[in-house]
Amino acid sequence: MLEVASLGSGSSGNATLVRSKTTTLLIDCGFTLKESLKRMASLGVAPSDLTAVLISHEHSDHVKGIGPLSRKFGVPIHLTHGTYRRLRDNRLLAYELFHAHAPFTLGDIEVDPFPTPHDAAESCQFVLQHNGVSFVVATDMGVCTPYILKKLAGVNGVLIECNYDDEMLRNGPYPPSLQHRIRGNFGHLGNVQAGPVLRAIDHPRLNRILLGHLSEKNNTEDCARNTVLASLPQAADRVTVLKQHTASPWFAITGESMPIENNASHTEALLADGGQK
């Protein structure tokens, strides 16, 4: 079993805890050190409990607290070469550089990074596995490619991006250039794109679906949830929308089966379409 908790997920900051019985990993640290420590404490986690921190890319909503966390507590930071080069604060006390196509192990958790199409230097996300149970973070990507879809196949838990609602983005305060960037293939997944991806990867042992990275100006929790469930109505009891300003509870990710309709034909259709929006 794995346990997963969000310190917060949205355009203003992102951080996710994943732990087994002996290993605790923090994926990104997009809040100030003070706020990160407060939210970790609310989940019963101290900096000394962290085995390592994984960084997906260099945008501030994912790395704001990385430098101070590293220097004050000496937690090892793992990131790609491109991300390290683009960090504004790369004065890290301890760090390891990895290749986004090369799996590695931290404690008793296997880490399988994969590149993501995003407007960052060397953006990636992670499939984490322990004793046959797997969890994946799939945010900050403009499109779900066939390669990424294969990485998501068979996971037991997923944190997927639902950044924007189409109408809210179109009629919101962002200028056309920023709207184009967000909608583009190196921007973010919206609610409409996330639903079919989840439908394509749904299977009897996908027992936890977390919707994250919601824009505060271009989305709402109800919009995200309702749009996703329009594509995957059988997942209503498995879907949770993560909040930006508060930590989530711990979620158990197991390998237990549940009755789910066969979506093989939809998966094949999405792959045939190139995984595009």
The residue-averaged pLDDT of 161-184 equals 96
Band of pLDDT at residue 276, cut at 50, 70 and 90: low
**Topology of domain 2-272, CATH:** Metallo-beta-lactamase; Chain A (3.60.15)
What pLDDT does residue 259 have?
61
* 9-52 pLDDT tens trace: 999 999 999 999 999 999 999 999 999 999 999 999 999 999 99
What pLDDT does residue 257 have?
83
What pLDDT does residue 217 have?
96
CA distances from 277 to 76, 110, 160, 210 (A): 36, 30, 15, 20
* 129-161 pLDDT tens trace: 999 999 999 999 999 999 999 999 999 999 999
* 236-268 pLDDT tens trace: 999 999 999 999 999 999 998 876 554 544 555
What pLDDT does residue 275 have?
55
What pLDDT does residue 265 have?
46
What pLDDT does residue 260 have?
53
The residue-averaged pLDDT of 150-178 equals 97
What pLDDT does residue 230 have?
96
* 63-111 pLDDT tens trace: 999 999 999 999 999 999 999 999 999 999 999 999 999 999 999 999 9
* 55-64 pLDDT tens trace: 999 999 999 9
